A and B are shown apart, each in its own frame.
Chain A
Amino acid sequence: MEPVEAVCAIPAPPEGARIFRADANRTFRSEPNRLVCIKLLSFSQQKFGDYQQSLGYVAGLLLLFFDPATCFKVLTVLNDSPKYLPGYWRGEATACAVDGYVCEGLLKPHMRAKLKELGLLPETFVQKWFAGLCIHHLPYGLLFDFLDQFFQHGNSFLFQFFLAFFDTFEAEIMSAANNPEANMLIRFESAPEPRLRQALQDATAERYVATIKSLDVHQCRISAFQEALSRRLQSANEGMWREVWLHQFSLRSAEVQSSQQLFLPWDVLGANHSNIANVITATLIGERGIFAENWIWRFESCCKAGINTSGANAGLEAQRQVNSIAQGDAMERPLQLGLSVKWGCNGQNQHLEIGLVLAAQFRALALGAATPAATGEVQVLTASNFSTSVREGMEQPWFVEFYSPHCGHCKRLASVWEQLAKQLEGKVAVAKVDATYEESLADEWDVTGYPTLVLVAGGKRYDFRGGRSLEALKSFALGGYLQSQEPSTESSPAFGGEHVLSLSGDMEEVVRSSAKAMFIVFYLRGCGHCRSMESTWGSLALELKDQVQVASLDAQQFRPLTELWRVERFPTMKLVAGNRVYDFEGDREVEDLKAFALKGFSALPGEPLPPRLSDLPSSTAQPGGAPRSNSIHLAVGFGLGMVCAAAAWAMCTCLRPASPASSKPAAEKEVKGD
């Protein structure tokens, strides 16, 4: 096995399922409980896009007290809300490490020096304290006090506890002879319980509260990241870069020389966004081999843009900013990499999923600057270069004319089109396709008349339908297309093919009047996950033809409906039967979907149908009302978190562990080792 392949294997070890099984086995004793646990963990991974084993501890504890659905909600709030565990539950625990260093920075100088001497890195033990909430370390009697405080005060309590702990155990740490000895204390193994209790009580003392309150956490995180982590992460990246570069370049150089402009399709293998340090790490994998690079960007302004606004505007704004940053960054690299970024806000404003780098333009430096696409001339596209040039408009918008050489309108447009290209130089690529010759392209793009003018930008198609004057065309190309119309849905057929019912604004009525159960997918055009399951959905529709109505809704186009139905990520599948709504959370395989639609859903409690849009107060019914519904949603989530804390606390203090007969068959489980 070549090292290159080893790199390939690193970012995504195909062992998600295995680690869930292993962790569940280590948490529960009986198989049914283990299965529930595995399910919860895999849902969480799907939802959060990553898995951290510390989440397993929290999930295990919650499952003692709540049904899986509630646990999932609590986990979601903990993960999504900046109040609780901002970005801690990542496989690569950067966010957690950053906060460890922030706390370390608040310690007394001699203590910091001692920790350094012992080689006790905050990034290692705060994973246990912060991300794992001390669940496997604190004695139960103290654990619930700890959790109680945490649910009440959130993240800042963790910081306070950190400080209080090191103050309480200052003498022990200072006299520790070596790392393992100090580590025993950090794991609370050699820490006497009464003093731990003291530390816990002290944590809410005024002095610590004040210290943390006065802290500019955001700024501290940025500097902690820069001081303690950034160089290390970068050097790790560079190590990887060099390794791969050496292996790949010889292979590529031939191609580079044979072609002035080389577009390589890139995929995002993994894009993590940790909203606390505003850092984005992306690993890129090229189609013809691995070209892994982990890039780190300070992303402050973009994240703000994404958080403060919602929907398409945020995406565009972010994209614009990202582009400018990426270009600046790329200039200093040994190769030029133009990156496009696409944002899929998932409704939950705090947990922005960033679909990073959908396309990249790659050139070897030796060739100098290659010709940009928006050259000022009308480019001729054919079936062979269309998709590699336009690349779904991810790099820049493409304005394409499908023409016929014999059509009078087209001939009249020709000179305007050339002027347009000139005026849009550097901004929008202008091109033409001889539709009579390129029949397959014309078919694909539904060209029924000449000329057909299509603007492709950000993975979407916008048809130009106005008068074909230079001014109108220009303003359309320079952004007018965004306002003028919804992206045309005609560009591609109904999601999943002819057997899928394509829902639209009248969905609420259709759902209510349908005789059969209805299985709806909420999808986004341009979302990779959605695209990859499109054919699955089509075959499902075929298989369920007579039993269940399989349908789809374009979430982008019918955003208010999507929000009303509380769709937070894509694709989301919901089954409507008997005026109740059941969420599908399993594998997106035909078999699983089918089993769910026919029978599986009945095991779930389901939720009542959401009210009609028209029945709502006007503010939430409008597209702009999104933030409000989000915040309501979050508030509900917080509430649940608090309920959880209260219940857990009550269970612990009022009831003996064995007595709650009503609780799940969970009394036998061991969340903790011993």
Chain B
Amino acid sequence: MAELRTQLGEDDDEDEPEYVQFKVILLGDGAVGKTSLATRFCEDHFAKQYKQTIGLDFFVKRVVLPGDVHVCLQIWDIGGQSIGGKMLSNYIYGSAAVVLCYDITNYQSFQHLEDWLFLVKRTFDQTPMPYTALMGNKVDLAHIRAVKVEKHSQEEGLFLQGLHSFRRALRCRMAWAASLSTVYIVICYGRDALGSSTFHHVAL
């Protein structure tokens, strides 16, 4: 473990705990709630007045995982309009995890994940793919759900997370904590640590 930390972490001051830095990117169509997801997690509030992200925003969250592992997550919140953007791969590059977000009330946003995923795959081309999570957002609007839970699970594979609304703080934290641990496991111990649940792509 110590070995890993020196590999991944930064050499900081003595009194500062060592942080393992991860870059996590959020991808998905516009208005599916990527920024809400990030602010909920990093600043622990849900902004009711929300606004579209132009370009790119960054958030940071420091967490301590079991085993006194200090993790610093750099969350790259990528504006949903950029799909097809040729500059996108620059932002995706080097990420430890990719969170693909969709809106459960919008089937298209679910379908488009295919395209987003394709971009990620293209970026990582020969190198191993980052850990990828699937997030269905806005479950508080379940009465107008357009993407069935089964669909979601069908797509999951390594995809880990279930359905969330980031209006609900608790679920959000749980979602993040779970995916975070997985990211950590994958990065520190390799993909095999997760057993057979490697990412399989299921055709729609």
Question: Who on chain B is nearest to A186 by CB?
Answer: B58
Q: Is the CB of A26 within 8 A of B55?
A: no
- B86 is contacted by which of A6, A92, A121 (Cβ under 8 Å)? A92
Q: How far apart are the CA atoms of A332 and B116 in the complex, in Å? A: 31
Q: Is the CB of A672 within 8 A of B51?
A: yes
Question: Who on chain B is nearest to A181 by CB?
Answer: B60
- A183 is contacted by which of B31, B52, B58, B112 (Cβ under 8 Å)? B58
Within 8 A of A (CB), among B61-95: 72, 74-75, 79-87, 89-91
Q: Is the CB of B108 within 8 A of A179?
A: no
Q: Is the CB of A237 within 8 A of B74?
A: no
Within 8 A of A (CB), among B27-74: 29-31, 47, 49-60, 72, 74
Q: Is the CB of B55 within 8 A of A1?
A: no
Q: How far apart are the CA atoms of A180 and B80 in the complex, in Å? A: 19
Question: Who on chain A is nearest to B79 by CB?
Answer: A53
Q: How far apart are the CA atoms of A232 and B122 in the complex, in Å? A: 14
| Least CB distance, A238 to chain B, in whole angstroms | 11
Q: How far apart are the CA atoms of A526 and B57 in the complex, in Å? A: 43
With known contacts A6-B118, A670-B49, A673-B47, A178–B56 Cβ distance under 8 A: no
How does the 8 Å CB contact mask read for A90-111 relative to B, with 1 for contact and 0 for none?
0111100100000000000000
Q: How far apart are the CA atoms of A187 and B52 in the complex, in Å? A: 14
How does the 8 Å CB contact mask read for A15-33 relative to B, with 1 for contact and 0 for none?
1001100110110000000
Q: How far apart are the CA atoms of A232 and B93 in the complex, in Å? A: 12
Question: Who on chain B is nearest to A236 by CB?
Answer: B86
Stretch of A122-130, A196-204, A395-403 that contacts chain B: A122-130
Size bracket, chain A contacts: 35 or more
Tell me if B125 counts as interface (CB < 8 A to partner A). yes
Q: Chain A residues near B80 (CB, 8 Å)?
A: 19
Q: How far apart are the CA atoms of A240 and B123 in the complex, in Å? A: 10
Q: Chain B residues near A15 (CB, 8 Å)?
A: 29-30, 108, 112
Tell me if B115 counts as interface (CB < 8 A to partner A). yes
| Least CB distance, B104 to chain A, in whole angstroms | 15
For chain A, what secondary structure do more than half of its interface residues adopt (helix, strand, loop), or is it mixed? Answer: helix
Tell me if B140 counts as interface (CB < 8 A to partner A). no
Q: Chain A residues near B51 (CB, 8 Å)?
A: 26, 57, 136, 672-673
Tell me if B203 counts as interface (CB < 8 A to partner A). yes
- A22 is contacted by which of B52, B54, B55, B58 (Cβ under 8 Å)? B52
| Least CB distance, A669 to chain B, in whole angstroms | 10
Q: Is the CB of B115 within 8 A of A124?
A: no
Tell me if B18 counts as interface (CB < 8 A to partner A). no
With known contacts A53-B30, A233-B86, A243-B122, A18–B106 Cβ distance under 8 A: yes
Q: Chain A residues near B30 (CB, 8 Å)?
A: 15, 18-19, 22-23, 53
Q: Is the CB of B108 within 8 A of A232?
A: no
Q: Is the CB of B60 within 8 A of A22?
A: no
Q: How far apart are the CA atoms of A412 and B121 in the complex, in Å? A: 66
With known contacts A53-B81, A673-B47, A19–B31 Cβ distance under 8 A: yes
Q: Chain B residues near A375 (CB, 8 Å)?
A: none
Tell me if B204 counts as interface (CB < 8 A to partner A). yes
Q: Chain B residues near A94 (CB, 8 Å)?
A: 87
Size bracket, chain B contacts: 35 or more
Q: Is the CB of B74 within 8 A of A180?
A: yes
- B81 is contacted by which of A19, A97, A125 (Cβ under 8 Å)? A19
Tell me if A52 counts as interface (CB < 8 A to partner B). yes
- A10 is contacted by which of B58, B83, B204 (Cβ under 8 Å)? B83
Most buried by A among B114, B115, B119: B115
| Least CB distance, A284 to chain B, in whole angstroms | 15
With known contacts A10-B115, A121-B90, A674–B49 Cβ distance under 8 A: yes
Q: Chain B residues near A180 (CB, 8 Å)?
A: 58-60, 74-75
| Least CB distance, B87 to chain A, in whole angstroms | 6
Tell me if A600 counts as interface (CB < 8 A to partner B). no
Most buried by A among B50, B53, B122: B122
How many residue pairs link A and B with beta carbons under 8 A? The number is 134
Q: Is the CB of B54 within 8 A of A26?
A: no
How does the 8 Å CB contact mask read for B106-139 relative to A, with 1 for contact and 0 for none?
1010001011001101100100000000000000
Q: Is the CB of A23 within 8 A of B47?
A: no
Tell me if A131 counts as interface (CB < 8 A to partner B). yes
Q: How far apart are the CA atoms of A33 and B91 in the complex, in Å? A: 35
Q: Chain A residues near B81 (CB, 8 Å)?
A: 19, 51-53, 91
Question: Who on chain A is nearest to B56 by CB?
Answer: A124
Q: How far apart are the CA atoms of A237 and B85 in the complex, in Å? A: 11
| Least CB distance, A358 to chain B, in whole angstroms | 23
Question: Who on chain A is nearest to B73 by CB?
Answer: A180
Most buried by A among B74, B86, B125: B86
| Least CB distance, A60 to chain B, in whole angstroms | 10
Tell me if A54 counts as interface (CB < 8 A to partner B). yes
Q: Is the CB of B47 within 8 A of A91?
A: no
| Least CB distance, A417 to chain B, in whole angstroms | 49
Q: How far apart are the CA atoms of A193 and B91 in the complex, in Å? A: 30
Q: Is the CB of B86 within 8 A of A9?
A: no
Q: How far apart are the CA atoms of A243 and B118 in the complex, in Å? A: 11
Q: Chain A residues near B91 (CB, 8 Å)?
A: 124
With known contacts A9-B112, A128-B55, A672-B51, A232–B87 Cβ distance under 8 A: yes
- B52 is contacted by which of A1, A6, A56 (Cβ under 8 Å)? A56
Q: Chain B residues near A3 (CB, 8 Å)?
A: 118, 121
Q: Is the CB of B90 within 8 A of A232?
A: yes
With known contacts A53-B30, A53-B79, A673–B114 Cβ distance under 8 A: no
Q: Chain A residues near B83 (CB, 8 Å)?
A: 10, 13
Q: Chain B residues near A178 (CB, 8 Å)?
A: 60, 72, 74
Q: Is the CB of A674 within 8 A of B47?
A: yes
Q: Is the CB of B84 within 8 A of A13?
A: yes
Q: How far apart are the CA atoms of A124 and B58 in the complex, in Å? A: 10
Q: Is the CB of B47 within 8 A of A125?
A: no
Q: Chain B residues near A673 (CB, 8 Å)?
A: 47, 49-51
Question: Who on chain B is nearest to A22 by CB?
Answer: B31
Tell me if A239 counts as interface (CB < 8 A to partner B). yes
Tell me if A605 counts as interface (CB < 8 A to partner B). no
Tell me if A340 counts as interface (CB < 8 A to partner B). no
- A92 is contacted by which of B31, B59, B84, B112 (Cβ under 8 Å)? B84
Question: Who on chain A is nearest to B203 by CB?
Answer: A1
Tell me if A79 counts as interface (CB < 8 A to partner B). no
Most buried by A among B56, B79, B84, B108: B84
Given contacts A93-B55, A236-B87, 5 further A-B contacts (CB under 8 A): A6-B115, A57-B51, A178-B74, A179-B60, A672-B49
24 A-B residue pairs with CB within 8 Å: A1-B114, A3-B118, A3-B121, A7-B118, A13-B83, A15-B112, A18-B108, A19-B30, A19-B80, A22-B52, A23-B52, A51-B81, A52-B54, A57-B52, A125-B56, A178-B72, A179-B60, A180-B59, A232-B90, A236-B86, A236-B87, A236-B89, A239-B89, A670-B49
Closest 9 CB pairs of A and B: A22-B31, A180-B60, A127-B55, A236-B86, A10-B84, A124-B56, A180-B58, A183-B58, A6-B118
A interface residues, Cβ below 8 angstroms from B: 1, 3, 6-7, 9-11, 13-15, 18-19, 22-23, 25-26, 51-54, 56-57, 91-94, 97, 121, 123-125, 127-128, 131-132, 136, 178-181, 183, 187, 229, 232-233, 236-237, 239-240, 243, 294, 670, 672-674
